């Protein structure tokens, strides 16, 4: 088991044996970056076995180990190279190009995590997932130069991570395309909308849902078929198989008739929607259900397993499912699992007004597929050890091989990091493989990427291969890191932020606020420093929530709690293996 930061040789093997001892050789004084909330705190030595899966690249401490204090105070900009920060001269996010990112299903945001922080709370580790977090970031990959509609990239980055400084090697697995969406013919829709009209939807939630559905009608194309199901204590089909263009008046009347009352019968609402789509389902249509709810299942069959089985059965028959959760009281795990089972997207809407944007997104973007039945296979060289894959829910790791399945590929909604007027969701797919170099690893091949998918425009199976190579020996990587493209540099920062959030949330859940704060202080300093040399709106917004997490943790400390200043730094006790 690894601590947050590996100290020099020596130190206690028992996290409690020398707690508070000035003689502990694992203790270091660390300056706190400006902007990382208002306080610091003397660190604790507690450890958590629960964090084994999120600690980045453990055990790979730099051969040129430096004094921690000196590594944390290099310049006014805080360019702390030793903790995974980037030296002046690193490329900023100013890449130009016509290629667009490609997205996948699953979570499209980390709204649940963000909402808890905005409300002054402490989120649990289950409220954030890597797919949703990464989807709120736009990564501008190298140009798509393959001959197919979708091109795969495998881009290498190597550096010490921002949390404990351990050497880390990552490969960014990304997809992009040069397809002109305006020139593509969208398949006609066979769409059913299952809308929660229980009593809790009264007020703004129902008003914005109606507004969003009416906006969606404007985005439909002639020949699209739409069914509207409302469900409260029971489910009712308000209009079935309405033809866009011909039946708009009746569809609009059905939408405007929605009103809130009663319980929440998710099972029957979904069943009616799936059955309606199944009646018309053909291969040349996009057969999909959209489920919107703001609450837990309280009526009818409330068993989550049965509801999920219902979705899985229809997915196997070719009907997809997208889920939209509103507010803070719905079953986030169920809604996420349903979307993943249905090869669709999951949206968490903190603000009911965002539902308008999401309904339009689903029709204009998600339902314009570029490819389907995609798979990415990564085989890592025996010079490295593959540890984890982030950014996808459907993957399998065996030894140094990772296999990733993606049911549907669609164009990403956003085109740049500052394209966020309608929110940050829709940034596209980011998959990051994390590995560590084995002893004696040399320059050369790091891995091989194989990509296969069925191209929608041609109905042909396309296969691509990419070699991932390192130009230098891993032990020759300087403190500024080695990134073969700006895309993987941003991905590296994103991964550090995600892991830092999850670690801090897990520590806080166990009551170890000291360790949570230590993690976030270091992360905050690292992100601050990176933004000093790189202009990126996504990462800047992430930093707001790093700081908010710190503020919320500090706020719940005892009134007499304060930092322990020693020599201009705050003291941390680090226990290592």
C-alpha–C-alpha distance, residues 525 and 35, integer Å:
8
* Tokens 């003689």 belong to residue: 23
C-alpha 225: how far from chain center: 32
| Domain residue extents for the chain | 27-93+507-573, 186-366
Q: What is the 3-state secondary structure (H, E, C) of 226-244?
A: EEEEEECCCEEEEEEEEEC
**Residue 416's closest CA among 408, 404, 427?**
427
Place of tokens 């169920």: 334
Nearest-5° angle of CA 424, CA 428, CA 430? 110
Closest of 417, 366, 328, 389 to residue 119, by C-alpha: 328
CB neighbours of 12 closer than 8 A, spacing ≥ 6? 18, 24, 26, 45, 575
Q: What is the pLDDT of residue 315?
A: 84
Contacts of 303 (CB under 8 A, 6+ apart): 267
Length reported for the chain: 577
Q: What local confidence, expressed as pLDDT, does residue 423 receive?
A: 57
Q: Which residues pair with 157 in a beta bridge?
A: 170, 483
Provide the whole-model pTM: 0.72
Beta bridge partners of 348: 325
State the Cα–Cα distance between residues 455 and 304, nearest whole angstrom: 35
Neighbour count for residue 572 (Cβ, 10 Å): 27
Number of neighbours of residue 534 by Cβ within 10 angstroms: 19
Q: What is the pLDDT along the chain (577 residues), one digit of tens a residue?
A: 222 222 222 222 232 333 333 333 222 233 334 445 543 333 332 223 333 334 455 433 322 222 222 222 222 222 222 222 222 222 223 333 467 777 666 556 677 788 889 989 999 988 888 888 898 888 999 998 899 999 999 999 999 888 888 888 999 999 988 887 667 777 788 999 999 999 988 888 888 889 889 988 888 888 899 999 999 999 999 999 999 989 999 999 999 999 999 999 999 999 999 999 999 988 778 898 999 988 788 999 999 999 999 998 998 888 888 888 887 677 888 888 888 777 777 887 766 667 777 777 666 655 567 888 899 999 999 999 999 999 987 889 999 999 999 888 877 665 565 655 555 555 578 899 999 999 999 999 999 999 999 998 888 999 999 999 999 999 898 888 899 999 999 999 999 999 999 999 999 999 999 899 999 999 999 999 999 999 999 999 999 999 999 999 999 888 776 644 333 333 333 322 2
H helical segments located in 387-467: none
Can you give the pLDDT at residue 398?
95
Write the DSSP string, 341-404.
HTT-EEEEESSGGGHHHHHHHIIIIITSEEEEEEEEEEEE-TTEEEEEEES-SSEEEETTEEEE
Alpha helices (H) in 429-570, listed in sequence order: 486-509, 513-533, 537-555
As a whole number of angstroms, the distance between CA 489 and CA 408 comes to 27
With 0-12 CB in 10 A as exposed, 13-18 as middle and 19+ as buried, what is 271?
Answer: buried
Query: 20: closest CA among 51, 50, 42?
Result: 42
pLDDT at site 441 = 92
> Which CATH number is 186-366 given?
3.40.50.410
The one-character DSSP state at 330 is S
How far apart CA 558 and CA 560 sit, in angstroms, is 5
Q: Which two tokens stand for residue 365?
A: 């973007």
Predicted confidence at residue 233, as pLDDT, reads: 94
Kindly state the greatest CA–CA separation across the chain.
Answer: 81
3-class secondary-structure state, position 483: strand
- Read off the tokens for 429: 């797919």
């Amino acid at each position: 088991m690894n601590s947050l930061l590996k100290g020099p040789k020596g130190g206690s093997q028992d996290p409690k044996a020398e707690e508070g001892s000035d003689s502990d050789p694992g203790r270091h004084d660390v300056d706190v970056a400006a902007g990382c909330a208002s306080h610091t705190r003397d660190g604790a030595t507690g450890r958590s076995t629960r964090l084994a899966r999120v600690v980045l690249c453990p055990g790979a401490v730099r051969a040129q180990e430096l004094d921690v204090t000196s590594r944390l105070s290099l310049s006014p900009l805080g360019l702390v190279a030793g903790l995974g920060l980037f030296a002046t001269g690193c490329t900023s996010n100013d890449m130009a190009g016509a290629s667009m990112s490609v997205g996948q299903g699953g979570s499209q945001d980390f709204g649940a995590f963000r909402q808890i922080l905005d409300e002054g709370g402490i989120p649990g580790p289950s409220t954030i997932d890597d797919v949703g977090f990464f989807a709120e970031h736009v990564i501008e990959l190298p140009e798509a130069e393959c001959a197919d509609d979708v091109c795969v990239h495998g881009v290498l980055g190597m550096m010490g991570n921002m949390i404990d400084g351990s050497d880390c090697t990552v490969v960014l697995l990304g997809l992009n395309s040069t397809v002109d969406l305006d020139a593509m013919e969208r398949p006609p829709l066979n769409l059913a909308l299952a809308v929660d009209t229980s009593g809790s939807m009264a007020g703004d939630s129902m008003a914005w849902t109606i507004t969003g559905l009416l906006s969606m009608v404007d985005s439909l194309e002639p020949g699209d078929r739409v069914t509207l199901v409302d469900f409260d204590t029971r489910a009712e089909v308000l209009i079935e198989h309405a033809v866009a263009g011909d039946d708009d008046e009746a569809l609009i009347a059905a939408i405007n008739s929605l009103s809130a009352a009663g319980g929440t019968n998710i099972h029957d609402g979904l069943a009616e929607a799936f059955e309606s789509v199944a009646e018309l389902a053909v291969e040349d249509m996009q057969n999909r259900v959209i489920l919107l709810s703001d609450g837990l299942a309280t009526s009818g069959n409330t068993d989550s397993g049965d509801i999920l089985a219902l979705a899985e059965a229809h997915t196997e028959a070719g009907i997809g499912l997208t889920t939209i959760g509103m507010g803070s009281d719905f079953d986030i795990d169920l809604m996420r699992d349903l979307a993943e089972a249905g090869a669709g997207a999951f949206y968490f809407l903190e603000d009911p007004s965002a539902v308008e944007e999401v309904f339009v997104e689903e029709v204009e973007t998600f339902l314009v597929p570029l490819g389907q039945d995609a798979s990415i296979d990564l085989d890592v060289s025996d010079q490295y050890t593959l540890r984890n894959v982030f950014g996808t829910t459907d993957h399998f790791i065996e030894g140094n091989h990772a296999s990733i399945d993606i049911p549907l590929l669609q164009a990403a909604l956003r085109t740049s990091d500052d394209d966020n007027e309608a929110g940050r969701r829709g940034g596209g797919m980011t998959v990051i493989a994390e590995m560590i170099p084995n002893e004696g690893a040399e320059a050369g091949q790091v891995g091989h990427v194989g990509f296969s998918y069925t191209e929608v425009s041609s109905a042909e199976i396309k296969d691509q291969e990419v070699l991932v190579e390192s130009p230098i020996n891993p032990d020759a990587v300087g403190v500024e890191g080695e990134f073969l493209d700006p895309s993987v540099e941003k991905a590296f920062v994103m991964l550090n932020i995600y892991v830092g959030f999850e670690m801090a949330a897990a520590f806080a859940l166990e009551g170890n606020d000291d360790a949570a704060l230590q993690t976030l202080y270091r992360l905050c300093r690292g992100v601050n420093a990176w933004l000093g040399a790189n202009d990126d709106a996504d990462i800047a917004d992430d930093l707001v929530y790093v700081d908010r997490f710190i503020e919320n943790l500090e706020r719940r400390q005892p009134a007499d709690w304060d930092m322990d200043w020693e020599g201009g730094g705050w003291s941390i006790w680090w226990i290592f293996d």
